[in-house]
Amino acid sequence: MIISELQQELFQTIKKNIPGHLSATEEIAKVLNVSVDSVYRRMRGEKTISLDELYTLCSHYKISLDSLMNIQTGAFHFEGKLIDSTTFRFDRYLTDMIQNTAYFISFKQKEFYYLCKDIPIFYHFLFRDLAAFKYYFWMKTIFAFPDFKSKKFSFAEYPDELFELGQKALALYNQLPCAEFWNIETINSTIRQIEFYRESQMFRSDEDVLRIYDALENLINHVESQARLGYKFDYYYAEKKLISNYQMYYNEVVSGDNHMVVILDGVKVTLISHTMINYMMTRDVAFNENMYNHVQNLMKRSTQISSVSEKERSRFFRFLRERIHRRKEALKV
């Protein structure tokens, strides 16, 4: 590939990463700290970009030079942040979630596919009681924060500002047209976490456990309502006004992995979960095509239970509720 072709390919790739309502030349000019006319000259090939400019653009727009030059190394380029107890701040984590979701919805055409091994993280912020428990679990078990080592769970110690940030993330997620793939195992990790802390006597009372199970059941009821209607709506508005389209698929055999595939104005992006709460993202064309084909194959082998298949939808959600009810009944023994 000659330099002029590489330069043209670079700018074409960058344009795909910029939402259609924004001026690509103006955005690139800001990144390079040059005039718009200067960007146009580079786009037309009248001026060759420097190595510094190439580095700046590839770094800012997360572009793999190997992929751009079609060098077959067998490697896939991912971006993300590694989180540990020495650097983690939950408010920053939620702020990043808000910014990423806002970026997705800024595109004119978007599709979102969520392979749900666990309950999608956004839904935890439907109800404060469940959000409080998940926060406690993440801080105590996943990151092993010293302050949580011997601390018992308390609803009162969950910061209001974190719940507000979580609800902002949920509100943005509601604006994304999406397809979620659920399995009967999707709620199991949350139930296991609750039961583990109950058996470890980390709750002050069974009433606290019951409150969390009530919140989990309300979450399931809300998701079922969205599936029945075929669209997302705000739980706290009685009129259930349509926010975005919602598809739900049930697969009896294949469990999800919490990966997400996003299509933004025709460009595919994949988010891969790791270490429970972390995500890394790739724009690698070959990898994303493979993931997208996997999603389409999974869709063909799953039962759509949103808008249609009322019998299957009712059976699926009844089974989930029965699992929760059994745990709630056990608290009375």
pLDDT in tens, 159-215: 999 999 999 999 999 999 999 999 999 999 999 999 999 999 999 999 999 999 999
Q: What count of residues does the chain have?
A: 333
Residues of the chain with CATH 1.10.260: 3-68
Q: Is the pLDDT at 301 greater than 60, yes or no?
A: yes
Residue 141 per-residue DSSP state: I
pLDDT at 195: 96
If one counts every other C-beta atom within 10 angstroms of the C-beta of residue 37, the result is: 10
Of residues 298 and 73, more confidence is placed in: 298
The class level of CATH for 3-68 reads: mainly alpha
Of residues 54 and 270, more confidence is placed in: 270
pLDDT at 37: 85
Residues 235-275 pLDDT 10s: 998 888 999 999 999 998 877 789 999 999 999 999 998 87
Say what the pTM is: 0.79
Q: Is the pLDDT at 80 greater than 80, yes or no?
A: no
Percentage of the chain with pLDDT > 70? 94
pLDDT at 8: 80
The pair phi, psi for residue 185, each rounded to 5°, is: -90, -5
Interstrand relation of 244-250 and 231-232 (parallel, antiparallel or unpaired): antiparallel
**What mean pLDDT is reported for the chain?**
89
pLDDT at 311: 94
